[in-house]
Structure 1
Amino acid sequence: MTRSPLAIIAGTGFYDLDALENPTHHTLDTAWGQARVTKGEWHGIPVVFLTRHGAGHSVPPHLVNYRANIRALADLGVRDVVAVNVTGSIDPTLQPGDLLCLDDFVDFTKQRPVTFFDGSTPEGVVHTDVMTPYHPAIRREILDAAATSGHSIRDGGVYACFEGPRFETRAEIRLAALAGADVAGMTGVPEATLALEAGLRYAAISLVVNPASGVGDADEPITMDEINAVLAASSATVLEILDDLVHTRATFPEEPDA
């Protein structure tokens, strides 16, 4: 049986996946527009890498074509997706460099196309159940990979997605905290829900890179220099977890759908 590709989606600070062997770059046409991906192998299994913001971070979060990206992955035969989200901490106990394996989200976006089922497709209007937006089996793989590679990761976390590209106000972060959110980002939704609609098994790692507005003692403006410094120090940790996850997958045959 041919193994289905594993997709890895990443954003800020993750523009290449150097671990990929024999990488080839592709622009794919979908009913929702074009998506650009890199195909290759990692530990001998097929992997598709997609960077949300394009080369050189040229696409802002509110203009990412999430529908084209997810549709392209599904068209390539992807079944499982591991995403990486760079976030600000709403929970004051979280520090830059901390990791979470997300298990829920709150959506504060306003203008993004959020579904494949907008009435223009043969399926008509479909109401998708999102009680479990992050797939338990893929979450388990992430948690096990972190443990094996010796890295700490919180089991669970609520992601608050804002429109961007501006950072959030203090009041918005207080609102998200009241909703139970642990971290804030700009790219996790509708990516997660579109993956559900497309039948993909999706889970996400959140890498905290700064305190969100007004959290803790944070009184200074959030800057990209601050974020990039944490990314430089912490991105290797994320890649080590991914490496162990892929290596473990390569050791075992692909399991049937669950």
Structure 2
Amino acid sequence: MSLQPLGIIAGTGFYDLDALDDAHSQTVDTAYGQTSVTRGSWHGQPVVFVTRHGAGHDVPPHRVNYRAIIRALADLGVRDVLAVNVTGGIDPDLEAGELVCIDDFLDFTRLRSSTFHDGEGPEGVVHTDVTTAYDPGLRRELLEAASSIGQPVIDGGVYVCFDGPRFESPAEIRLAALAGGTVAGMTGVPEVTLAAEAGLRYAALSLVVNPAAGVRPGEPITMEEIAAVLEVGAPKVLAVLDELVHTRSVFAADDTDAGHGDHG
């Protein structure tokens, strides 16, 4: 049975995926430039892993080549993409270390190439529906995996994307809160909309690492604080992904066994 590879995209604090067996790096050429991926297997499932900022975190969020990343994943046969985002909490009830399974977004970016459809290709002008840009089925897999291992995950939240690399101002966060924002980040858009344009199923798990600017007055945002939460929170994220991939591997094995039985 030939399995489609699972795409995993991660950012700050997630620069490799130690769980991968037979991991090897590959440079993929696309019409939008090159991108580097790591290919391997996880519980026997083929995986294509991308770290947005590069292994040395040397690519700032506004310069990530999102089009090349999504195009490369599609070209490598990926259909499902799991994204990990490190975010600030806009919702004052969110605590550092909590996980949110995102179901909508707000785009506050200004400087990014945000579509494959610039009107110059053979397809002309294309308007893509992003009502369910975060795929309900893939979101359900994330939530069920978390539930299986007893890891609390908040079901639903609005990801508000800013350009970065600076953190947001308190006024910007107040505006985002008025618009219904749950968490603030710098990488979720246009990644999610490009995935929709490419016909990929996409879901995102957000790790909250700090209250966003002004949410708790007098508390500055520091990289030391973020690093400390990442040290505790990253294993939670990886445990959810591990359970999801393991569950998929079991189902794939069952399907293969059933298929062999049908032909035996």
Q: Normalised by the shorter chain, which TM-score bucket?
A: over 0.9
User: Per-residue displacement from partner, 1:84-105 (whole Å, max 9, x unpaired)?
Assistant: 0000000000000000000000
Determine what percentage of the aligned residue pairs are the same residue: 69
Task: Give the Cα–Cα distance (whole angstroms) in 1 for the partners of residues 158 and 152 of structure 2.
Answer: 17
Q: Secondary structure at the match of 1:252?
A: helix
Does structure 1 residue 148 correspond to structure 2 residue 148? yes
Do 1:211 and 1:218's aligned partners in 2 also have CA atoms closer than 8 Å?
Answer: no
Cα RMSD, aligned residues only:
1.1
> SS at the partner of 2:8?
strand
- The yes-or-no answer on 1:159 pairing with 2:156 is no
Using the TM superposition, give the Cα deviation of residue 214 of structure 1 relative to its aligned residue in structure 2, in angstroms.
Answer: 0.4
How far apart, CA to CA, are the structure 2 residues paired with 1:134 and 1:122? 27
How far apart are residue 126 of structure 1 and its match? 0.5
- Distance across 2 between alignment mates of 1:198 and 1:247: 26
Matched, 1:42 2:61: no
Larger gyration radius, structure 1 or structure 2: 2
Separation in 1, partners of 2:159, 2:217: 20
2:236 alignment partner, SS class: helix
1:198-224 deviations in whole A, cap 9, x for unaligned? Answer: 010000000000000000x34132111
State the TM-score, normalizing by the size of structure 2: 0.95
1:13-92 matches, within 5 Å, as 13-92=13-92
Distance 1:247 1:204 in 2: 18
- Shift of residue 83 of structure 1? 0.3
Look up the match of 1:231. 230
**Structure 1 stretches lacking a partner, 5+ long:** none
Q: Deviations over 1:24-64 (max 9, x none)?
A: 10011000001110000000010010000001110000000
The aligned amino acid for 1:248 is T
Structure 2: distance between partners of 1:185 and 1:68: 20
| Pairing 1:101–2:119 present | no
Q: Which residue of 2 aligns with 1:129?
A: 129
Q: Supply the AA of the counterpart residue of 1:8.
A: I
Partner of 1:248: 247
Contact 1:25 1:37 in 2 (8 A): yes
Contact 1:158 1:180 in 2 (8 A): yes
Specify the code of the residue in structure 2 equivalent to 1:75: D
Separation (CA, whole Å) in 1 of partners of 2:177 and 2:234: 26
Match of 1:221 in 2: 220
One-letter amino acid of the counterpart of residue 117, structure 1: H
- Partners of 1:43 and 1:201 in 2: CA distance: 21
Q: As a proportion of its length, which structure holds more helix?
A: 2
Secondary structure at 1:34 match in 2 = strand
- Residue 113 (structure 1) aligns with: 113
Shift of 1:136: 0.5
SS in 2 for 1:160: strand
